[in-house]
Structure 1
Amino acid sequence: MIYRFLPLVLLSLMSFDSIKETKVKQNDNIVIATDPKDIAANKKVAFEASCKSFYQSIEANNYSLPQYESFFKAFEGYSQLQQQGLIENEYLTIVDFSLSSKEERLWVIDMNTKMVVLQSLVAHGKNSGMEFANQFSNKSESYQSSLGFYLTGETYTGKHGLSLKIDGLEYGINNNARQRAVVIHGADYASEKFVKANGRLGRSQGCPAVPYTVHKTLIETIKGKSCLFIYHPSRSYVEKSKLVS
């Protein structure tokens, strides 16, 4: 009886190989891969194309745009957080700590209108570096900045005036933000005047501090569970993060 089933077994094996190794044509020669590796590769290509298209459609609104590398990482994490339902206020704030503190390296992008609504100077922690930030920590009293993705929280009035609490979303990278009292606030040392006098921006105890001229507008815009991404081309961050590749 075995010989009766042998052709069926061979047919099944041939069919499996065909599904794994070939492509299926649908809808006037649109080719769809069925191999899991091909599907993953195609998803990656599609995401990269989507990100590039979004970036190219952003209205700078008399500001500059963030560098594409930092935007790509930000878009990657933002998309995942949005799918998880964590984002309620659809603004993406990007802080690019690969840039000099003398540059306006903070951007706020309205992800609905695809428009830059604010660009600003922003300080890094005093133990993260001088003009450039190059060391980062999640530890209390390190006085270093922390990289990665955050959700903005609630406002309060403290010693720096109106301030905004933030919650780090990446364990071991920035999840101690609340415990460390890392918040967004205004500061006199985060100003063009300080840059002109010192050749660099002043530094914080780890907070992304901004000029008093923009801090209220920034805080009121992004409060209430919007996405904040602090970027640096750090290999150790990419290796630890589950939100960027």
Structure 2
Amino acid sequence: MIKKILLGLTFFSTFAFAGTFDTDSQIKSLYEQLQLQNKLNYSTFQKAIKGYNKIQNKKEGKITIVDFSKPSTEERFFVIDLNNRKVDYSTYVAHGKNTGALSAIKFSNVANSFQSSLGFYLTSNPYQGNNGYSLRLNGLEPGINSNALKRNIVVHGADYATKEFIQKYGFLGRSLGCPAIPTNISKEVIDYIKGGTVLYINGNDSNYFEKSVYASL
């Protein structure tokens, strides 16, 4: 009987806290379970999860992390299932053409800057646009990414966001500011993260971390 009760308590504890990562030790444990050590810097992951925790009215259980601190020749788009503790997608993603060539170095919230915007977003609804099946993003940070809808900053597929493009040109192609991913998985990814999930774009920009409410540790 005692054994059954203990097993029941263990199951309840695991279930009850399946999607809760409030402490540094919980975040670190999640990071290690996801085996992201050679793919995503821990400090980036930590900022993403702590920001996720602060966001209201989100669809729980998923987060997309785009790490523009890494060069475009590396996978830097990660879709994570927090409840089941697994990385569902790890792939390439393009940054804006005026943000940089191999690496992303300039960011903007201004229309027609053709630069990427950092920070936290909530995904919206998909639509068919000039870049095919695309996903609108609602920027949550005033002055940082709040013009995302007006600028048509969306997740979409692109034939220049592939390993083959890197092999041919030495770096990934660039967008007009959108986080563009390989076309062969773009619809699948969009349908998976649509409808109010959190998306975080990280980059090497000290100004962002000074201004952001969500990314502050």
Q: Which TM-score band (shorter chain)?
A: 0.7 to 0.9
Q: Is the 8 A contact 1:90 1:227 kept in 2?
A: no
Return the match for 1:58 from 30, 34, 44. Answer: 34
Q: Retained in 2: the 8 A contact 1:87–1:225?
A: yes
Contact 1:59 / 1:114 at 8 angstroms: preserved in 2? no
> Map of 1:1-245 to 2, 5 A cutoff?
47-58=23-34, 65-81=39-55, 84=56, 86-245=57-216
Runs of 4+ aligned residues of structure 1 deviating over 6 Å after TM superposition are: none
Q: Counterpart amino acid of 2:41?
A: Q
Q: How high is the sequence identity, in percent, across the aligned residues?
A: 46
Further displaced range: 87-96 or 127-136: 87-96
Residue type matched to 2:89 in 1? L
Q: Which has the higher helix share?
A: 1
CA distance in 1, matches of 2:166, 2:115: 20
Give the TM-score of the pair, scaled to structure 2: 0.86
Larger radius of gyration: 1
Give the number of the structure with larger relative contact order, counting CA–CA contacts within 8 Å between residues 6 or more apart: 2
Work out whether residues 62 and 193 of structure 2, in 8 Å CA contact, stay in contact via their aligned partners in 1.
yes
Structure 2 SS opposite 1:162: strand
* RMSD over equivalenced CA pairs, Å: 1.6
Change in 2 beyond 3 A, CA 1:89/1:153: farther
**Contact map agreement 1:125 1:206 (CA 8 A) in 2:** yes
Gaps of 5+ in 2: 1-21
**Alpha-carbon distance between aligned partners in 2 of 1:143 and 1:124, rounded to the nearest angstrom:** 9
Specify the code of the residue in structure 2 equivalent to 1:186: G
Q: Please tell me whether the aligned partners of residues 98 and 133 of structure 1 are also in contact (alpha carbons under 8 angstroms).
A: yes
SS in 2 for 1:71: helix
The residue type paired with residue 175 of structure 2 is S
Change (3 A) 1:64 1:91: farther
The answer on whether the counterparts of 2:73 and 2:102 sit within 8 Å (CA) in structure 1 is yes
5+ residue gaps, structure 1, are 1-45
CA distance in 1, matches of 2:89, 2:42: 17
Hey, what's the Cα distance between the residues in 2 that align with 1:211 and 1:77? 27
8 Å CA contact 1:95–1:106 kept in 2: the answer is: yes
Question: 1:59 deviation in Å?
Answer: 5.7
What is the rounded CA distance, in whole Å, between the counterparts of 1:159 and 1:242 in structure 2?
Answer: 33
- Give the residue type in structure 1 aligned to 2:25: A
Q: How many residues align?
A: 195
- TM-score scaled to structure 1, two decimals? 0.76
Supply the AA of the counterpart residue of 2:44: S
Q: Within 2, Cα distance between the matches of 1:152 and 1:166?
A: 5
Alpha-carbon contact 2:105-2:204 (below 8 Å) kept: no
